[in-house]
Every structure is written in structure tokens, then in C-alpha cells.
Chains A and B, each alone.
Chain A
């Protein structure tokens, strides 16, 4: 077991993003506990535009700390259907509540292939354990 919280219902990417299926090919995206603990204090999040079409692996979102600027690689191709506006005044929730209020944006996809291709919680835990070695 790793030292990180890895909710079992989510899928994960190698860049430590999580994706939650909201049903009807809608997905919510955020940063995993591992990322939230390692990135440093988040000071600002640049969010994508609602309505914009996004591809898998494109950079639609940037998370800033005092000393870094991290590109977030989008994992689900589709259309951005919502963004977490509350981060504008409250970017620290990306650190403090990464699976809850600290979510980043939502996507409406054409299908579920992208989602299914991501790591399951079990696989991600294994991935984290290997990384920590």
C-alpha cells in the first residue's frame, strides 16, 4: 500500500491526474493526492474555456505554485463542459481537497475509450509504489 489516498472509483494517468465518470460520457478531472502533496502550495490555476474542444494529451490547464508552473495534460478528448471557477479565489483547495472541491474541469466526451484506457486505482497504486522505490 502506498502512502497516498487513491479512491477506488476513479481512473488515473501517469501524470497523476484523476478522472471521475459522471455518467453519460461526462467526466470530471483533477490532480491526485500524490500530485497535490508534491507540487507545492498551489497559487493559481489557469483553466480551459468552457465550450472549447480538447484533445487527449493536449495542455488545457496550468497549475502554478511560487516556484513552478505545471502543465496538466488532458486525458479525455471532447468538449469542456464546466470549469471549477471557485479556484480563482481559492486555489489552495487543489492541495487540501484534491478529490473534492479541488477538481479542475469537466469534459463531455464522444465515447468511453479514453476513460477506459486510464489506470484503475489498483494499477495506479502499483505505479506509485514502483515510482517510490
Chain B
């Protein structure tokens, strides 16, 4: 076997609360008599007890080091989680973000003492606008879903401003991320579902028949969640505009077209980027992300507070006249933005297109090497990801079993059971940062699982065999939720 396989260094680790011993400490603070401070507050302002673990420094180090070994990460190996763009996270990003000048800058520092970060923000706004083909970009949103919220808020504010208040509906294709409809509801919009056609794309005639003066816009992911580029995009955006509505772009799949084509040029009016997907910032076990939003000229005035502008040779914050308002405290996840900025500095104008080119090459290579055995519900050409399903797997082996068997073979599983329009979906996004031998070994593992499902299905159904835990009981977890640690007997 040439795939990595999996053997663990499995040191068992209890919870941090069980490691605690009264009297241990893991901090180093100046010696100081604090008895007077105890008297500064009346008793009814103070808490009765403080329940936190007590550990020495080595306990803390061992605890988290052991826990870290239970995780699979990009630094370990191939992580083809479709729609999540798990590309390599450059180490220089971390080094730069930790420079004291950036890390220790207070958000209320006067603008003239924060010119470095303000300049970075200004340049980042401009770079993202250029990449997306937009007039302006806000860095405020803290994640992709927050970006969606903001983008739709801009649309809502726009229609409020022009007095077209009948427009309360947003069209969303059935292949969309769950965040799309949820973001609509949060903005008071009603969702109208648009079914995908047999090619896995937007049916343009269906869309046209749905457009009327109650539609505020459509939310599109392009390429969509099947990895299929909506090649009728110009016709789509024109039809939507002709009906007086706007086009929202979900930038989750920007990695497919980065430096090759621009959403703004396709007629998309507002789009959120995911810096933690396309622009290499670490996913951190679930954030922090950042979801900047780019807009076309007529939506600029509705951007949330504040934007960075250049005034002579100084950089400053400015609130826009018709702003949708403030969407969080301060200015966004600048620590994340800075990492993405460093990433863009390294690629620059000369290499940026190679990102999409290699991402699309890798995904199509995997598709070419597996399509003879794995079923493709939609046969359309795809860009940066490919969605197979489990209908060719034999002996009752499902997508879930395949995912677990990949773990035994040393890979993080792809995204599974999404998009919803492909039953048993296996959504593979390799990204551009993987080598051919990594792809080949993943392909070999996928082929091996297919064969093993035929010859020795138990091997797959029992997977994963080499991990510390195997197939947790999710029903039990949901029926009798245990969400905090309780001491025995509590």
C-alpha cells in the first residue's frame, strides 16, 4: 500500500478537570499584597466561588499536546473537505500576525498611531475589490455566514433607500449551503427555492418565470456546490437585473476562479469572500474566519460601518451615508485579514492565477481517475471539486462507511451528504497545494475501498479501526445532552 495508513500514538488523556489538583498553579504574576483589593467591592457584587481547574504548567502542556494528537489537520495530510478549501496554511502568515506592532494594536488607538494596520486594511480592501471586480469591499464580517448576513443587509438597505419595499423574497437554488436560507431569514427575507436542472445548474427559464416585483435577488454560488460553473451566468444576471432585482454571490468557491475570472464581471452585485478558504488563513478547528464583502458601484454607500479610506497620505475610517449599520464591534477579524494579506503579497499579480489553475487541475485529475468506478449523478464538467455518490458501492456500504474507511487509510474524509441534491454525496475538493503523489495515493485508497466493499465489506463497515474512538453514538448525544463536565456524584 502506498497510502499513509494510520497508526496512532494513543496516550489516553482525561479531561482537564480531572487533572486538576488543589494548590497547583500555572501562572507567574508579580508578588503583591492584594488584601486591600478584596475590600474594594461590596460583598453582594462579588461571586461566591470560582470553579476553574488548578494545574501546573507541565500539566497544561501535556494535556493540550495529547489532545492535539487526536486531531487530523492539514499539517498531517490530505484534507479534501469539499466546499471548505482546506489548502495549506503558510507558516509565514503566523509569524507576521504575531509581530507586536500588529498583535498589540488596540482598536481604539488613534488613527495616526495605527497607520500600519490601516494601510494594510486599505490595501486589502483594494486587492479584494480588484480580485472580485467590485467597486468597494468591507472587511468587517467575521466569517462567511456573517458576510452573507451583511451582503443581504446591503440589499435590504438598498431597496429600503429606493423605496422599493415590496421586494421581500430571495431565490435560492436547492444546491445552496444552509447558511444561505438562514441568512435570508435573519434579514427578514422569504426564501423561494429554485430547482437545479438535470445538468446540476440553474434552469434559466425556471428562474425567469419566478422573477417579479417581489423578488429582491438571487443567491448564487458560482461555481456551484457541485463544482459546476453556471455558464449561463451572463443571461442569469441580466434577467435578474432586468426584473429590478440584485445578484448575491456566495464566494465559498472563489478558489476555482481566483485570478481567472471575476464575479463582478459576471454581473454579480455583491459577494462575500471566505479568507479562511480561498486565502489560506487557518480554519482553527472552526474559526476564526473572515468574510469580507465586495459590492458594485451602486451598493457602495450601504456598506457597514466603517470603511478605511485614504485621505492624502493618511489612512482613516469613514462611515458611509446610507450604511446598513454596524455589524460587530470594531472593524473585523484583522488578525485573520492580515494573514490573507501576507498570502496575497506572496502570490502577487504574477502567480495568483496559478491557484485556480492548479486547484482545477487537481480536482479534474481525481475525477478522471475515479469516474470509472464511482457514480457521478451530474455529468457536467466541473472546476475545483467533484461530487460522487455511493450508488456504485456494493454490499450496503454507504458514503458514511467510505468516509470512515478513508480515515483508516490516512486521509481526512471529503464532505459527505452535501449538497443535498445528490443522495449519498461524496464531495472532494483537493485544492492546489497537494502534490501528485498525494492525489495518487488518495485515488488508490478510494479504489481500494471500492474493491474491498465487494470482497470484504466488513472491513469497511467496521471502520475506522485505527482511531481512539469509532462511530460515536450521535443519537444518544442528542437525546440526553451532556454539554458540560460534571464531577462524579454531582
Stretch at the interface among B210-218, B353-361, B473-481: B473-481
List the B side residues contacting A66 at CB < 8 Å. 474-475, 478
Distance (whole angstroms) from the CB of A61 to the closest CB of chain B: 17
List the B side residues contacting A67 at CB < 8 Å. 417
Q: For residues 416 through 441 of chain B, which have their beta carbon under 8 Å from a beta carbon of chain A?
A: 417
> B400-421 CB contact bits vs A (8 Å, 1 = yes)?
0000000000000000010000
The CA-CA distance from A66 to B478 in the complex, in Å, is: 7
List the A side residues contacting B475 at CB < 8 Å. 41, 43, 65-66
The CA-CA distance from A43 to B478 in the complex, in Å, is: 6
The CA-CA distance from A89 to B422 in the complex, in Å, is: 35
The CA-CA distance from A67 to B417 in the complex, in Å, is: 10
The CA-CA distance from A92 to B473 in the complex, in Å, is: 14
> B294-313 CB contact bits vs A (8 Å, 1 = yes)?
00000000000000000000
Describe A's contact surface by its main secondary structure: loop
A64 within 8 A of B: yes
A77 within 8 A of B: no
> B78-96 CB contact bits vs A (8 Å, 1 = yes)?
0000000000000000000
A13 within 8 A of B: no
The CA-CA distance from A92 to B475 in the complex, in Å, is: 10
Distance (whole angstroms) from the CB of B234 to the closest CB of chain A: 37
List the B side residues contacting A65 at CB < 8 Å. 475, 478
> A47-74 CB contact bits vs B (8 Å, 1 = yes)?
0000000000000000011110000000
Distance (whole angstroms) from the CB of B421 to the closest CB of chain A: 16
List the A side residues contacting B417 at CB < 8 Å. 67
Question: Residue among B417, B474, B478 with the most chain A CB within 10 A?
Answer: B478
The CA-CA distance from A122 to B417 in the complex, in Å, is: 36
The CA-CA distance from A82 to B434 in the complex, in Å, is: 59
Look across to chain A and name the residue whose beta carbon is closest to the beta carbon of B475.
A41
A34 within 8 A of B: no
A120 within 8 A of B: no
The CA-CA distance from A65 to B479 in the complex, in Å, is: 9
The CA-CA distance from A64 to B474 in the complex, in Å, is: 13
Look across to chain A and name the residue whose beta carbon is closest to the beta carbon of B417.
A67
A91 within 8 A of B: yes
Distance (whole angstroms) from the CB of A63 to the closest CB of chain B: 12
Look across to chain A and name the residue whose beta carbon is closest to the beta carbon of B477.
A66
List the A side residues contacting B478 at CB < 8 Å. 43-44, 64-66
Distance (whole angstroms) from the CB of A97 to the closest CB of chain B: 16
Q: For residues 338 through 361 of chain B, which have their beta carbon under 8 Å from a beta carbon of chain A?
A: none
> B315-331 CB contact bits vs A (8 Å, 1 = yes)?
00000000000000000
> A88-121 CB contact bits vs B (8 Å, 1 = yes)?
0001100000000000000000000000000000
List the B side residues contacting A44 at CB < 8 Å. 478-479
Distance (whole angstroms) from the CB of B417 to the closest CB of chain A: 8
Question: Residue among B417, B474, B479 with the most chain A CB within 10 A?
Answer: B479
> B465-479 CB contact bits vs A (8 Å, 1 = yes)?
000000000110011
The CA-CA distance from A65 to B475 in the complex, in Å, is: 8
The CA-CA distance from A91 to B478 in the complex, in Å, is: 11
The CA-CA distance from A25 to B478 in the complex, in Å, is: 36
The CA-CA distance from A41 to B474 in the complex, in Å, is: 10
The CA-CA distance from A31 to B480 in the complex, in Å, is: 22
Distance (whole angstroms) from the CB of A38 to the closest CB of chain B: 14
Distance (whole angstroms) from the CB of B260 to the closest CB of chain A: 36
The CA-CA distance from A67 to B478 in the complex, in Å, is: 10
Distance (whole angstroms) from the CB of A84 to the closest CB of chain B: 16
The CA-CA distance from A65 to B478 in the complex, in Å, is: 8
Distance (whole angstroms) from the CB of A96 to the closest CB of chain B: 13
Distance (whole angstroms) from the CB of B416 to the closest CB of chain A: 11
List the B side residues contacting A91 at CB < 8 Å. 479
The CA-CA distance from A92 to B478 in the complex, in Å, is: 11
The CA-CA distance from A66 to B474 in the complex, in Å, is: 7
A-B contact pairs, 10 of them (CB 8 A): A41-B475, A43-B478, A43-B479, A44-B478, A44-B479, A65-B478, A66-B474, A66-B475, A66-B478, A67-B417
Please name the 9 residue pairs, one residue from A and one from B, whose CB atoms are nearest each other, closest first.
Answer: A43-B478, A41-B475, A66-B474, A43-B479, A66-B478, A66-B475, A43-B475, A91-B479, A44-B478
Which B residues have a C-beta under 8 Å from some C-beta of A?
417, 474-475, 478-479
